[in-house]
Amino acid sequence: MFRALVMVAVLSASGCCLPFGLGDSGLDSAIVCFDRDEDGVETCFGARGDCNDFSADVVSVWGGAERCNGLDDDCDTLVDEGVGFFPDADGDGFGDDAGVHCAQASGDATVGGDCDDGAATAHPGATELCDGVDNDCDGGTDEGSTWYPDADGDGYGDSDLASCERLATEVGGDCDDSNAALHPGATELCNSLDDDCDGTADGDTRLWPDGDADGYGTDPSVVVSACAEGHSAEDGDCDDADATSFPGAVETCEDLADKNCDGSVGGDDADRDGYPACEDCDDQAWFVFPGATEICDDGIDEDCDTLIDEDC
């Protein structure tokens, strides 16, 4: 009895309404209601009432599961969601969420979410087209379907010339479409050009230390300025203390060291094809030697005449 009186006193002090008579025997079973925002919608202890009793602008009353009645029954700020039918003007099977019919009308869809009910090519899950329309209703337009001309053939197109026509590449970002050596991901060189299209000429890049200044470096590579001294954009030097040793160097049969970095020395015949390294253009492949039969379409110079797939 005392607890009930305390509760009533507290509720009365806070502005709660008490729509019942306070008799000597009625307090323990009394229903206490209140209307904090004074919008005329009461909420009672033990039951849900006003969806937002702190705002007189929200007058929705909890009604349980959502029903198609023009009301926000479940107090989630949405009206008739998932329970009605949606007008589908373009006949694509997805309706306009802005209008919900409780009774299905001709042409109505049972699924909403259409972002453009005037275009049958626009609805959730549609294939994005290059047409200036958000076809898949994801908030983006023409994503993944834009093409770029690639005048220099480096695989990167000019983003300023984006087009819906099927052009050379779907990859943009080329900062100079007249120079195939300049494109995103290219190695930055010391040449006053922005090779990698990052907005900086001769910026930081990954190079290999080149101790003998023969143009070829050795592992490991390091990130330095493109113009850093003692570094090279080419890897593969087998002796970085000898400027006459590097990939492609001239090697004689009298050399006692591997000058051209092919893994063989002078008169050695590592691949046992009958030709020493000084005469063989690849002493690691037994089918490659001067006079060998050229094999078509393999991209290899089998006969060591500096030509690839000739007479094929």
What's the pLDDT tens digit per position in 135-181?
A: 999 988 877 678 899 999 999 999 999 888 888 998 999 999 999 99
Q: What is the pLDDT of residue 232?
A: 95
pLDDT of residue 57: 64
64: its two tokens:
């349980």
Residue 71 lies in a domain: no
Matching residue, tokens 């198609």? 68
pLDDT given for residue 278 in this prediction: 87
- Are 277 and 309 part of one and the same domain? yes
Return the pLDDT at 17.
43
Q: Looking at residue 242, what is its pLDDT? A: 95
Among 204, 223, 247, which residue terminates a domain?
Answer: 247
Asked if residue 189 and residue 236 are part of one domain, the reply reads: yes
Residue 160 falls within a domain, yes or no?
Answer: yes
2 and 44 housed in the same domain: yes
Q: Are residues 228 and 260 in the same domain?
A: no
Residues constituting the chain? 312
Q: Is residue 161 part of a domain?
A: yes
Pair 241, 278 in one domain: no
d(CA 5, CA 236): 92
Both 243 and 277 in one domain: the answer is no
- The residue with tokens 């993944």 is 144
Q: Are residues 257 and 242 part of one domain?
A: no
Give the pLDDT score at 58: 64
Question: Can you give the pLDDT at residue 309?
Answer: 87
Q: Are residues 228 and 267 in the same domain?
A: no
b/e map of 225-242 (b: 16 or more CB within 10 Å)?
ebbeeebbbebebbbbeb
**Within 13 Å, how many C-alpha atoms sit on residue 216's CB side?**
18
All residue ranges of the chain with pLDDT < 50 are 1-28
pLDDT of residue 289: 95
Instruction: Mark whether 51 and 5 lie in a shared domain.
Output: yes
Give me the pLDDT at residue 149, please.
94
Whether the Cβ atoms of residue 183 and residue 172 lie closer than 8 Å to each other: no
Q: Which residue segment(s) compose the domain that 195 sits in?
A: 185-247
Q: Are residues 284 and 269 in the same domain?
A: yes
Would residue 89 count as lying in a domain? no
Q: pLDDT value at position 130?
A: 79
Are residues 280 and 235 part of one domain? no
Kindly report the pTM of this predicted structure: 0.45
Confirm whether 238 is domain-assigned: yes
Position 150 in a domain: yes
Report yes or no on 201 lying in a domain. yes
Which of 282, 279, 273 has its CA nearest to residue 300? 282
User: Residue 46: what pLDDT?
Assistant: 63
In a domain, 103, yes or no: no
204/257 same-domain check: no
Total count of domains within the chain: 4
